[in-house]
Amino acid sequence: MPIDRADVTNVLKSAWLGKNVVVFDKIYNKLKDKVDLNNQTNDTQGETILIVAASNNRVDIVEYLLEKGADTSLVTTETDKNHPAYDQDAFSFACRNGSADVIKVLQQNGVVNHIVIINKAA
């Protein structure tokens, strides 16, 4: 029976929203060959696991995901400009939510503020 990728993502989502990096690590290690941490297709707004963890102030999970190679440059795929997820990445969500610890971790890992870059280019 093929694995439903959305179900795998939902299991991981439950673990990281629970703030338990040990549980997340156990689940991820069992499923790592079946899940792409940077996948944006399992979420309607195109949020990655890192984006959701950062937007929910899960600093331990953010650190873990960065160690495992999560991409900080990915931006949501939401096309509705009025939706709160439109044009957001892990850093912009963390800034918007005032998640100082997550902001610091992302900055220490070389995050680039894509919104500032876009505004400077305009």
* Higher-scoring residue by pLDDT: 12, 8: 12
Spatial CA neighbour of 111 closest among 90, 97, 95: 90
Q: Residue 33 above 80 pLDDT?
A: yes
Q: In angstroms, rounded to a whole number, what is the distance separating the alpha carbons of residues 120 and 61? A: 31
**pTM (two decimals):** 0.82
Could you tell me the pLDDT band of residue 93, with boundaries at 50, 70 and 90?
A: very high
Domains and CATH numbers, the chain: 5-121 (1.25.40.20)
